[in-house]
Homo-oligomer: A and B are copies of this chain.
Amino acid sequence: MAKRVTINDVAQAAGVSRQTVTRAINDMGEINEQTKQRVLEACQRLGYRPSRFARNLVVRKKTRAMGYLVASFRNPYFTEIAGDLLNAAAERGWHVVMASTETEDEASALDMLSGQVDVFMGHFMQDDDDLIKACRGIPLVMLERAGSLPGMHSVEVDIREGVREAIEALRGKGARRIGMIDSAYSLRTSPTYVSSPRRGYFEEFAGTGSAEMVVVGEESMAGGGQAFAKLVGAHPDTDAVLVFNDLMAIGAVQASHALGIDVPGKVRICGIDGLTLGEAVHPTLTTISIDRHALVSNALDLADALATADFGELPPMRRTVRPHILWRESA
């Protein structure tokens, strides 16, 4: 690979000093229009591209960069958050470097980005210990999950409270046999299925016997549909279903169609997330809605705090966002 064209090369080619080149390319005035043109022409000719590192090193204006790990681009929940984050981050002067952890594992994504960013953010799945190790000292803002180690900060969502409310309300509407569809996401990091916290809340509030009303499915529309079929097959008296997330819940609603099961007449379906997409299905999806805007803005508050402290070690910060039930047609 050819040696990089530097400001010196341009200066030499244009017969001026480096500083003059700087003045020309940065539109700084205090420079003769003619010399400027000559310099610019030389830049063009040599294909000169200033080094962003050298420039940023010397310029005092701190550019803050965040590494954001997107859990999945196939679940609108995560992409909607990514979009919100990008907008809000830009407003607050953050650059966002993204990586997907859908195919790549978290550790290597973190590792790859660790030289480029000041803080990490994302929905992480790995153990705290592995995470911290992969971060090389860069602080972490964890979404929808608590961290236990120094350098870990978090914005949690009180899903438990949402589930409690939802189940209570479903009971109030007459539901007697409430089932749940859980996600098999744990299989991505562990060799065996581990029940999700959401399932834990369900069993806690749905009471005795609820554990056998749980079916596990792949985390997708299709997976949700299959799980729904399995659930009502095994328990025909099911009259309400809490679903791990909206994506799967939408699949369940569509499966109910195919199975000729009236929703919400025969079975009520309630998702978790609050996807906009939930409005596009028939019947529209009732859901435990997570305020993405609050989630993102709290997370950015933490990032800002970290940046203000020059990314030095701050005592762990924790925020919590409360979900609310978005009553639409399916429940």
Contacts from A to B (Cβ < 8 Å): 1-2, 4-5, 43-44, 46-47, 49, 51-57, 63, 65, 70, 72-74, 76, 79-80, 82-84, 86-87, 90, 95-100, 102-104, 109, 112-113, 115-118, 137-138, 221, 250-251, 254, 257, 276, 280, 282, 308-313
Contact = CB atoms under 8 A, between A and B. Distances in A.
6 contacts: A53-B57, A57-B57, A70-B83, A74-B80, A86-B100, A87-B104
A1 B82 CA distance: 29
B96 A97 contact: yes
A100 B95 CA distance: 11
Contact of A73 (B80, B117, B311): B80
A189 to B, nearest CB: 18
A181 B312 CA distance: 54
B51 A57 contact: yes
Contacts of A84: 73
B115 A100 contact: no
A97 B7 CA distance: 25
A295 B50 CA distance: 29
A5 B57 CA distance: 14
A143 B79 CA distance: 20
Contacts of A102: 83, 87
The 7 A-B pairs at the shortest CB distance, nearest first, are namely A47-B312, A73-B83, A79-B79, A53-B57, A86-B100, A53-B56, A53-B53
A9 to B, nearest CB: 12
A2 B117 CA distance: 19
Contacts of A313: 44, 47
Nearest to A47: B312
Contacts of A276: 74
Contact of A280 (B4, B55, B254): B254
A57 B87 CA distance: 29
A14 to B, nearest CB: 16
A272 B293 CA distance: 31
A55 B65 CA distance: 15
Contact of A250 (B53, B70, B87, B280): B280
Contacts of A104: 87, 90
Nearest to A4: B310
A117 to B, nearest CB: 7
Contacts of A55: 115
Nearest to A114: B52
Contacts of A51: 57
Contact of A137 (B49, B79, B280): B49
B310 A47 contact: yes
Contacts of A112: 90, 95
Contacts of A47: 309-313
Nearest to A138: B49
Contacts of A116: 52, 63, 65, 95
B96 A49 contact: no
